[in-house]
Amino acid sequence: METPQYVAARIQRALAEDERTNELGIRVDVRGDQVFLRGQVSCEERRHGIEDVAREAAPGLTVHNEIRLLEVRAPGEEEHL
């Protein structure tokens, strides 16, 4: 079996370099044949796109998409400097 560290690195590189994603802020953890994706993105389409690219980079492994959608709240209290 391929070393998990190299699998994680390959997925992370694919997410950054693949034109469909170009995502640099996704955490990738590999445990055995399980891949865990964590981070935040702006919409459902981007969340799925990341999962697709990760699956292609790690064929045969089970990908768990734990990426959550970034909820942009109304502006809060101002800070006095």
Partner 1 sequence: MKALRVAAVADIHLGEDIRGHYRKKLEGIEHRAEVLLVGGDLTRHGTREEGRVVADELCDLPIPVIAVLGNHDYHSDAEEEITAMLRDAGIIVLDDDAAVVSLDGVRLGVAGGKGFGGGFAGKCASEFGEPETKAFVRHTKEIAERWRHALKDLDADHRVVLSHYSPVKDTLAGEPPEIYPFLGSYLLAEAADAEGADLIVHGHAHLGTEKGMTPGGIRVRNVALPVIEHAYAVYCLDGEGVH
Q: Is the CB of 17 or the CB of 56 nearer to partner 1?
A: 17
We find the least distance from the C-beta atom of residue 36 to partner 1, in angstroms, to be 16
We find the least distance from the C-beta atom of residue 25 to partner 1, in angstroms, to be 4
- Identify whether the C-beta of residue 10 lies closer than 8 Å to the C-beta of residue 3: no
Q: Is the CB of 47 or the CB of 64 nearer to partner 1?
A: 47
Catalog residues that contact partner 1 under the rule CB under 8 A.
19, 22, 25, 39-40, 42-43, 45-46, 70-81
We find the least distance from the C-beta atom of residue 22 to partner 1, in angstroms, to be 5
Contacts (Cβ under 8 Å, ≥6 apart) of 21: 14, 15, 46, 49, 50, 53
Alpha-carbon distance values, 40 to 21, 43, 57, 62 (Å)? 13, 9, 20, 20
